[in-house]
Copies of this chain bind each other. A is one copy, B any other.
């Protein structure tokens, strides 16, 4: 397959936008991406649109992408609506990559868009259910509670084993909130201190509210083309999609401390790209709940088991550190409009690799960036979808 590259990116700021519809959010991200690439929109040969909750939350169940893109003036192309819970955006990007890499299409659009503020928070949370027969009907549980007790995360067990404390989780939030405060696209733009995070209302022990991502509205888009065509299509520095891996998780036994699906995926990705964890210059990871960021450090090989809090304390993963993680502010600060999140990560990393991230430029001239996005939990299963996207300049 041929190499594919991102030549244009755009976002609608993540946040609470009660007056904006799915169409409004999507249109802004798409047109910003088209303008950024500087391409004629008629060059776009297909579109992948990631959205997770539009059916239950907006009533737009079918052809969500066509409804949004028709409003952008884009039609007469293949439109593929994809869904993978919180990994829907990355799934859209992978689709655009496969179309271009395979030669099926020369220029592809990937859009992630989500509208969550619909005036009924309980309904928004219920729509996030993993297996609706089990979580909602039988257990009546909501998402953050599932996260806290799920054997895959086993947060209490990790705290016992590693000596992690709630303060360690708060430190992750503090770091990301400082990053988010520098990001005009972020939902939460105030730098927090650890005491404030710890004092916020308890959601599910050990998670306080400020350790959890909140619901949000937003959209992010990317234009993908063949690497060899990039120079003739756009004046932008092309950012190569070196790998776009997607997998659903496997069964886990209760209390299993190993996220083996993700670990295996990371190994395969490093192997394919011929790199190691030390080569990651900057990353965006899926901190839907702050402790997840610490677990993902281990899975990515940025540190050994249990060593995540040290990386945070030493500034290793802060802007200006050796391997900045979540310079955008991550899910906890930039926000987590479900289907838009994965593409929001990719947009941020494209800006970082181009050196266009302004006050939150993670390091000078980064060459290699990794996005980790995941979505959905099933009772006896690892995450329903893991997505890893490796970008290089």
Contacts and interface: CB of A to CB of B under 8 A. Distances in A.
Interface of A: 1, 21, 23, 52-53, 55-56, 58-64, 66-67, 69-70, 75-85, 91, 95, 98-99, 101-104, 127-133, 136, 246-251, 261, 338, 375-376, 378, 380-382, 384-385
A60 B136 CA distance: 10
Contact of A98 (B52, B102, B375): B102
A248 B66 CA distance: 8
A382 B66 CA distance: 11
Contacts of A21: 133
Given A1-B102, A66-B384, A385-B63, A246 B76 contact: no
A102 to B, nearest CB: 3
Given A63-B385, A76-B250, 12 more contacts: A52-B61, A52-B62, A53-B55, A59-B129, A60-B129, A62-B128, A62-B376, A62-B384, A66-B248, A77-B248, A83-B83, A102-B104
Copies in the complex: 2
Interface of A is mostly: mixed
Nearest to A85: B62
A76 B133 contact: no
Contacts of A99: 98
Contacts of A91: 80
B75 A79 contact: no
A246 B99 CA distance: 12
A287 to B, nearest CB: 19
